[in-house]
A and B are shown apart, each in its own frame.
Chain A
Amino acid sequence: MKNQSTSPLTEATFFILLSLSPAPKHGYAIMKEVREISGGRIVFSTGTLYGALRRLLEQGWIKRVSDPEPNPTDRERKTYTLTDKGRKVVNKETERLRALLRTAEQRTSESPL
């Protein structure tokens, strides 16, 4: 099996994981949340979203859980949540970005005007 590096994540993957960070969500809610937190830069088509969810499920970063607020009319709506492994990946990536930002701020503040 190939060794898959978890870092750096693609922006789309990172935003999906971030959207699931506070609470489990179903597909449409993930789509809306990602659009919102990315400031409208990342707008998934349904196929792209589910391709990414399939990959994240296989990597074990997310898993399906029973819907905390089931809607009797939506039998097919599935809810996704972060696994411990997925949460570690998000934290690691956040830490990496934080370090990157710190370095960038440090360097730009040192530059002569």
Chain B
Amino acid sequence: MNFLTQLLVSVYSRMLNLYPGRFREEFADEMQVVFRDSVNETARDGILRLVILCLRELGGLPFNILREFWHELGRKETVMVTNEKVEQDLSNSVRSSHWEAFLSALPFAVFGVACIINKVRVPWPIGIYVFLTFYCLVLLGLLIGLVKAFPRWAYSYLGGSLVFAWWWTSMQTRGLKLFGYTFGNEAWGWRAWAPLFITVGVAILLTRSIRPLRELVFGIWQDWTFLSLVTYSLIGFMMLLYDEVRSPYTIAFMTASTLVVCASAWIFMRIESHLHRLGILLGGFFGSLIIDRICATTWDLYTYNELPAQPTMPWYNSLPEIIFYTVLWSPIIWLPALVGLFKTTFNKEPTS
């Protein structure tokens, strides 16, 4: 029986890894002790009782895990209310958990994958469906974010949905069939924005207040680097699309760019310093731009488009271009955070 007890406790402790990190750090050791006590005591009443205990633990596990992850989604509200450091510390923010960082990087990853699927020339209209699935994902994230008082990770979804709606406005419907309705061959226009507004409307209806929008603005007011993250969605979009690129290694370059952009979004959430955060966003842009330029040297645009041949240039000839674009884009990424910095400087009360 002792072996069985040890085995069950060992399996249970492995299952505790499925809970969100914060919950695990706080309660996993205790839960293991309680489970061990339960097993030890129940084992005296016979194997049947022990089976019932295990079934009860196992049956409740999926719901309990989901409940804790759902709670984690809206954790910002609790942190902001209880942690006075957020208000006081002007140069640093609260470090996000791995889970929040994952959620924040997810839209970039999914968009990267959608672009890759589209690039392998899947039959029409699968490519469109893939992009619309991405739109649904970011809208779902936005909805959850709005309902859960706009936690930090939700800014990626806000950026993703804004950029997508803007991009899709000028895309052609090309006779697409959607939910039994057949579109003509015109631009999506305002219809690209309709799901976004509906999502915001649903969030307002669900919460029966404009609190979701207030929390969104309040979050940026508290930490302007998140507006930089929203802006970064546009850069992610530009650097992952690889439009009109026909290099034989396009997929490899797209994968590398996706990883760089995702990693920068992930690290952005995991570091506290505002300055480092902006640095990492700029680094993500710089890194993906280098990959893009290397990709440009692996195929001949002129030959592909049957244009007069041009002399081949090594990739490092693009360096001035890379620096130019990085310098051009840095104010766009940094501006929101600089506004925030001015705000906090002016709001700072004299200490003496």
Contacts and interface: CB of A to CB of B under 8 A. Distances in A.
A30 to B, nearest CB: 9
B31 A50 contact: yes
Which residue of B60, B61, B81 has the most chain A CB atoms within 10 A of its CB atom?
A: B60
Number of contact residues on A: which range applies?
A: 20 to 34
Given A47-B64, A51-B67, A31 B38 contact: yes
A77 B71 CA distance: 24
Given A50-B27, A54-B27, A74 B64 contact: no
A31 B57 contact: no
Interface in B92-142: none
Contact of A45 (B33, B56, B78): B56
Contacts of A45: 56-57, 59-61, 64
Contacts of A74: 33
A45 B61 CA distance: 9
B29 A46 contact: no
Q: Classify the secondary structure of A's interface with B.
A: helix
A8 B29 CA distance: 32
Interface string B45-79: 00000000000110111001101100100000110
B57 A46 contact: yes
A83 B12 CA distance: 31
B61 A1 contact: no
A27 B35 CA distance: 10
B34 interface: yes
Contact of A54 (B23, B32, B35, B65): B23
Contacts of B71: 54
A59 B256 CA distance: 45
Contacts of A26: 34
B87 interface: no
A13 to B, nearest CB: 14
B76 to A, nearest CB: 12
Given A27-B30, A47-B31, 7 more contacts: A31-B34, A43-B56, A45-B64, A49-B34, A74-B33, A76-B30, A78-B30
Interface of A: 1, 26-28, 31, 43, 45-51, 53-54, 58, 74, 76-78
